[in-house]
Amino acid sequence: MIYLIEVQPFSEFEVRGTAKMAKSVEVKDGICYMCSNSCPTKINVRDGKAVKIDIADPKVAYCPRWKAQLDFIYHPDRLQYPLKRTGAQGKGSWQRTTWEEALDITAHNLQLVKNKYGAESVVFWIAYTKEPRPFFHRLSHAFGSPNYCTESSNCFSGTWIAANLTYGPEYSGMAGSSASVEPETKCKLVWGSSVISSPQAWQENIEAIKRGVKYIVVDPQRTTIASRANIHLQLRPGTDGALALGMMNVIINQDLHDKEFIKKWTIGFEGLASLAQEYPPERVAEITWVPAAKIREAAILYATTKPAKLHLSANSTTHHSNGVQNHRAIILLPALTGNFDINGGNRFANHTTVEVNDITLHERISKMPPGVGSQRFPIWTERYREMQSNAIVDQIESCEPYPIKALFSAGLDIQFFANSRRMTASLEKLDFVAVTEYFHTPGTQLADIVLPIASWLERPILLTNYRGCARLISPAISPVGESRTEWDIYSELAKRLGFGELFWNGDFTRCADYVLEPLKITCQDLKQHPEGIKLPAVKRPEKYYRKLGFCTPSGKVEIACAALAEHGLDALPVYREPPESPLSRPDLAKSFPLVITSGARVMAYTHSQHRNIPRLRKLMPEPLVDIHHADAKARGINAGDTVTISTPRGSIRMKAHVTDTILQGVVSLPHHWPGEANVNSLVDDKNLDPISGFIPCKSQLCQVSKCNL
Ligand code: SF4
C-alpha cells in the first residue's frame, strides 16, 4: 500500500508555457489564494470561461493545487445560489432563495440579536480566504461587535506574539521571514517545519543543502528535509522549550554565547542562564527523548557555524499548552549566538514600508464590551486585535460575561476547533447562523442561511503591497452562478443594517481610494497599470536595532518579559510539561501511552479544503495515522488496518501507515479531515496556552488499537 504523504517536488509537474495561445484566448493576471503563499498566475479566458491556469512563478510549479483550480471553480457541487435551511440542523434540507431574501433574513436576525442582547452577542468569524478580511473586520466593528475573529486564534499568531513580546513589534514576523536561505547562510536550524508546503522555500533549502550548508532539523518525524540534514533531533512533541533550554545550557557552559550583544541588548540573561543550568543535556534527553550527545552536537554546530539561521514553523511549536514560552526559548537562540539581524542569520530582508489607511474601525473597540476571551487571554487579544475563538464555547454555554446568540461566518471550519463535537453542540444552540461558502461543509450544516461566494478568479483584488508593488487585479471571469464577492455581500448587509455609508454605499472604487490615499495612488492609477505600481523600497542595514533599539518597554530583547510578569505569568521562557504527557500524567499514560502530534502539512490540501477535487484526492485518498513499526507490532496492527485513536475526549478512526519515520511512542495524524477522522475532536479544549489561548493539538496522550470491524 503506497500513500503519498509528502508530494515530492521536481517530479511529474512542469510549468506550462503561455507562449502558444489560440487567438480567442485572453490571458489575464490572477493571484492564487488557495493558501497563504499567494502565488501569481496567468488565467486563459475564452468566451468568458477560464480554460487554463498557468503559474507565473517557476518556483511553485510543483504545487498541485493551482493545477486543480479549474476543477475547483467549475466543480459540479459548487454552491451557486443562496440557500435557506428548511429542516433540522445537520439534515441537509435546503431551499433555493433569492439574494434579496437571503440578505434580508440575515440582516433581520443579526439586528434582532443586537436589539435583544447587544451587538456583542453576534460573533463574526472568517477563515479562508484572507484577502477580504479587512472588510469583514470593518463589518463587525461597524455593527458594534468587538467579536471579530479568524483562524489566527489557532494558527501562526502564537509565533507572532512570542516574537512581539521578546523582540518588539518590528520583529513580530520573525517566523515568516525565516524560511528563506541567504547566500551567506552557513547553517540552518529548521525547527518543526517540513519546509515542503512552501514551494519557494523548498527550492531554496534544497539548493542550500546541495551547496553544503549545514542542516539541523528538529522534528518528531523524519521528513524529507530531516533525512537530508546533518543532525536530526527527533523530539517528543511539546518539549521544544526544554530542548531549546538544553541547547542554551551547552552554549553558555561552553562559552559560545555572544557576550557583547547579550550585555548591551538584552534584559534577563542572568535569570535565563540559571534556568538553563536546570536543563543539562542528560535531563533534557529524559524529557525530549533526544539523545544527550545529539543535543550537544547540535548546540555546538549551531553556535559555531556562522552565520546560522533559525528556520521556524508558523505553528508547530506553539500548538501546545506552553507554546508561546517554548517558542520564546527557541527564538532566543539567534540573540544568544550573535545570529540576530545579520546577513545569513535571522533578519528581515530589505523591505518596502507601506502605510495605508486602516479600514477595520478598530478604534471603536474601546467603547465596546470586552471581546470573547479577552479577560482570560489579554495579551493575545490586545496585541492581535481579535477575540480568541477558543473561548467561545465556554461563553456560549455560560452566557458570561454576556450571551453569544448569533454567528456570521465566512467559511465555518468546524474541524478547526478543539473538542469539535462540543463546539458543534454549542453552535446548534445559537439563535441564528449565516455562512458564506464555496461548497457544503460540516459548517454549512449548522447554518440557517448559506451564501455562495465568488472565488479569487471572480472578484477584484486590491493588493497594497504585493512583492513590492500596489496592484489591482480585475476579475478574470464573472462569478459562477449567482455567487457574489465578499465586498458585495458585506456592503449589502451594511446597507440593510443601517450603516451603508460606512461601506461607501457599495462603491468598491471609493473604498480602494480611501485605503490607498497615503500612497498617493488611486484605484484608477492601478487600473491603468495592471502590472502594479512599484512602492518605495527601504534598505535596512544589518543590526538595524542599533539605530533605535528594540520596540519593547526596555528597548532591549526581553529575555525576561515585563508584559508577561505584569499579567502574573512567567517572565522567563520557563518550560512546562504538557498537562497530558507521559511525565505529567503517568496515571493517564497507562491507558493512553502514545503521544499525538497532528497537522503536518501535505501538498494536496489547504487545511479542510480540496478533498472534493478528485485529482488532489488521488494524492492522499484517505487520512492515515503514522505509527512506528514497534508500536504497531505491539498492538497487532498491520499497514492498512483500520485503527481507533482514542483520547479522554473520545475516539476517531483512520487507517494505519506503519513506518519508521515517526519517533517510537508518537503517532502523527493529519488534520482537518471531517467526521469520523477529525483529529481535533480528540483535542483538549480546557488546557489552553495561557498567553495565546491556543489549543494543545500537537501534544496529548492517546491510545491506538486495531479496529475489529
Ligand atoms: S495553492 Fe499553490 S499556487 Fe496556490 S497560493 Fe498556495 S502554493 Fe501558491
* Percent of the chain residues topping a pLDDT of 70: 96
Shared-domain flag, residues 192 and 318:
yes
- For residue 31, the ligand 1 atom closest to its alpha carbon is 5
What gap in Å lies between CA 178 and CA 167, rounded to an integer? Answer: 15
- For residue 198, the ligand 1 atom closest to its alpha carbon is 7
Rounded to whole angstroms, what are the CA distances from 614 to 69, 602, 640?
Answer: 12, 16, 21
- For residue 197, the ligand 1 atom closest to its alpha carbon is 7
Question: What distance in angstroms lies between residue 614's CA and the mean position of ligand 1's atoms?
Answer: 18
**Among the ranges given (12-16, 158-162, 279-283), the one the predictor scored with the smallest mean pLDDT:** 12-16
Residue 613 has pLDDT above 90, yes or no: yes
pLDDT of residue 600: 84
Question: What distance in angstroms lies between residue 66's CA and the mean position of ligand 1's atoms?
Answer: 6
CATH number at residue 519: 3.40.50.740
Which of 414, 391, 438, 398 lies closest to 89 in space, CA to CA?
Answer: 414
Question: What distance in angstroms lies between residue 358's CA and the mean position of ligand 1's atoms?
Answer: 27
CATH number at residue 204: 3.40.228.10
Residue 333 has pLDDT above 70, yes or no: yes
Domain containing 93: what range?
83-155+360-534
The protein residue with its alpha carbon nearest to ligand 1, atom 6, reads 35
pLDDT band at residue 172 under the 50/70/90 scheme: confident
* Displacement of CA 107 from its chain's centroid (Å): 30
Per residue in 436-453, pLDDT (tens digit) is 999 999 999 999 999 999
Of residues 53 and 540, more confidently modeled: 53
The protein residue with its alpha carbon nearest to ligand 1, atom 2, reads 63
Question: What distance in angstroms lies between residue 673's CA and the mean position of ligand 1's atoms?
Answer: 20
Residue 539 resides in a domain:
no
Shared-domain flag, residues 178 and 291:
yes
Q: What is the mean pLDDT of residues 7-12?
A: 30
Instruction: Report the run of H or E that residue 40 belongs to, with start and end.
Output: strand 39-46
Which of 85, 111, 91, 163 lies closest to 449 in space, CA to CA?
Answer: 85
CATH number at residue 696: 2.40.40.20
Q: What is the mean pLDDT of residues 495-505?
A: 98
Question: What distance in angstroms lies between residue 446's CA and the mean position of ligand 1's atoms?
Answer: 29
Shared-domain flag, residues 201 and 332:
yes
Residue 480 resides in a domain:
yes
Question: What distance in angstroms lies between residue 34's CA and the mean position of ligand 1's atoms?
Answer: 6
Shared-domain flag, residues 516 and 552:
no
Residue 704 has pLDDT above 90, yes or no: yes
Q: Which residues have any ligand 1 atom within 6 Å of their CB? A: 32, 34-35, 37-39, 55, 60, 63, 65-66, 199
Residue 73 has pLDDT above 50, yes or no: yes
Per residue in 255-288, pLDDT (tens digit) is 999 999 999 999 999 999 999 999 999 999 999 9
Residue 486 resides in a domain:
yes
Question: What distance in angstroms lies between residue 39's CA and the mean position of ligand 1's atoms?
Answer: 6
Q: Best mutation site among 15, 34, 200, 606 for ligand 1, i.e. most ligand atoms within 8 A of its Cβ?
A: 34
Residue 173 has pLDDT above 90, yes or no: no
Residue 129 has pLDDT above 80, yes or no: no
Residue 539 has pLDDT above 80, yes or no: no
Question: What distance in angstroms lies between residue 403's CA and the mean position of ligand 1's atoms?
Answer: 39
CB contact at 8 A, 244 and 278:
no
Q: What is the mean pLDDT of residues 604-621?
A: 91
Residue 527 resides in a domain:
yes
SS3 32: strand
As a three-state string, the secondary structure of 43-103 is EEEECCEEEEEEECCHHHCCCHHHHCHHHHHCCCCCCCCCEEECCCCCCCCEEECCHHHHH
pLDDT of residue 4: 31
- For residue 63, the ligand 1 atom closest to its alpha carbon is 2
Question: What distance in angstroms lies between residue 55's CA and the mean position of ligand 1's atoms?
Answer: 9
Shared-domain flag, residues 4 and 111:
no
pLDDT of residue 71: 95
Mean pLDDT of the residues in the chain: 92
Shared-domain flag, residues 365 and 485:
yes
Residue 203 resides in a domain:
yes
Shared-domain flag, residues 380 and 515:
yes
Instruction: Report the run of H or E that residue 216 belongs to, with start and end.
Output: strand 214-218
Shared-domain flag, residues 601 and 694:
yes
pLDDT band at residue 433 under the 50/70/90 scheme: very high
Shared-domain flag, residues 332 and 208:
yes
Q: What is the mean pLDDT of residues 184-195?
A: 95
Residue 426 resides in a domain:
yes
Per residue in 394-413, pLDDT (tens digit) is 999 999 999 999 999 999 88
Per residue in 588-604, pLDDT (tens digit) is 999 999 999 998 888 88
Q: What is the mean pLDDT of residues 214-234?
A: 97
Q: Best mutation site among 66, 128, 130, 610 for ligand 1, i.e. most ligand atoms within 8 A of its Cβ?
A: 66
Shared-domain flag, residues 186 and 142:
no
Residue 73 resides in a domain:
no
Q: What is the mean pLDDT of residues 139-166?
A: 94
pLDDT of residue 2: 31
Q: How many domains does the chain have?
A: 4
Per residue in 628-673, pLDDT (tens digit) is 999 999 999 999 999 999 999 999 999 999 999 999 999 999 998 9
Shared-domain flag, residues 529 and 551:
no
Q: What is the mean pLDDT of residues 366-371?
A: 96
Residue 72 resides in a domain:
no
pLDDT of residue 609: 87
Shared-domain flag, residues 551 and 452:
no
Burial, 586: exposed, middle or buried (Cβ in 10 Å; 0-12, 13-18, 19+)? exposed
Q: 626 forms bridges with which residues in the sheet?
A: 657, 668
Q: What is the mean pLDDT of residues 295-308?
A: 98
Q: What is the mean pLDDT of residues 234-245?
A: 98
Residue 19 has pLDDT above 80, yes or no: no
pLDDT band at residue 217 under the 50/70/90 scheme: very high
